[in-house]
Amino acid sequence: MWSRDRFVQFFDYMSAYPWPVLYTLLTLLGFVVLWKRRRDAALILLGPLAVTFAAAIAQQYPFRARVVLFLLPTMLLAAGAAAGWISDRLAQMNPALGAAASFAALVPPVMAIANKPPPYVVEQFKPVLAYVQSHRQAGDRIYVYSNAYQAVARYGPQFGLTTDAYVLGVCNQRDNRPFLADVDQFRGARRVWVIASSVPDFYPARHGIANYLQAIGARRDSISLPSAPPMSPVSAELYDLSDTMRLRAATAGTFRVEVDTMMHAICFDWIRPTQVIAREVSSP
């Protein structure tokens, strides 16, 4: 079952074909066809696939999703070889049958592209960062939500956001409340920019931060630009956290946070490495 799922993923999760199992079978047939027709080509295609699969069985390399994306062209070539072989056989019986088979083999790929076109614009960080640069004032503090770190680290310097110009948010895999405690460091500040984006695992924590900031402060400015699904919009919001009446209205320890029913946000080493290490060491 594991082997089947690992190969079906190429046409299911990665390619979004309507009938992934059918194309997995076509791929296996395609390797047989190539072995008989052009053994050198078959070996070139099968080599990396076999080594990667063997490494996964030996628990040395994960045979899943992004880390095996480099094998997708191999699978597509093999499936194409099988489709061509079937079309040739049917064409010998009737040319119309061969043409119909070729057309049928193209339907799922075309449907996949039509239903899930390539994301030409994924996340619009540059215009958001440009907005912050043009509206930023001396003394403004900037908080970068942990999921937005890679983009801000890459594009930030172009817009005056070097690593010493902002505070990188905490990332916690087990609880959403530490995200609220993290923004408490800005209590009393008159101008705090919060730059954020998120994928599904980070939604609850991002919503919690936004709700908490609106409870203890006032939003003075904002920009939000849509992203390709499933990513949420990229945003930059300016908060005033200097109102003592508002600050007394809630604390990070008592404010109601969204219950996370999904897998908690995955904290990679590039998100505050010292915090990740400290959390792992302190875990029971």
Backbone angles phi, psi at 45, to 5 degrees: -75, -40
**Which residue range forms the structural domain that includes residue 198?**
125-282
pTM over 0.75: no
Contacts of 177 (CB under 8 A, 6+ apart): 208, 252, 253, 257
Q: What is the pLDDT of residues 152-161, one digit of tens each?
A: 999 999 999 9
Domain assignment of residue 165, yes or no: yes
Q: What is the pLDDT of residues 11-62, one digit of tens each?
A: 998 888 988 999 999 999 999 999 999 999 999 999 999 999 999 999 999 9
Considering the domain architecture, whether residues 179 and 275 belong to the same structural domain is answered as: yes
Nearest in space to 252 (alpha carbons), one of 165, 154, 170, 142: 170
Considering the domain architecture, whether residues 94 and 144 belong to the same structural domain is answered as: no
Considering the domain architecture, whether residues 151 and 263 belong to the same structural domain is answered as: yes
- Side chain identity at 222, as an amino acid letter? S
Phi-psi region of 213 (alpha: psi -120 to 50; beta: other; left: phi over 0): alpha
Domain assignment of residue 120, yes or no: no
Q: What is the pLDDT of residues 81-109, one digit of tens each?
A: 999 999 999 999 999 999 999 999 999 99
Considering the domain architecture, whether residues 259 and 143 belong to the same structural domain is answered as: yes
Tally the domains of the chain: 2
Q: What is the pLDDT of residues 116-158, one digit of tens each?
A: 887 777 899 999 999 999 999 999 999 999 989 999 999 999 9
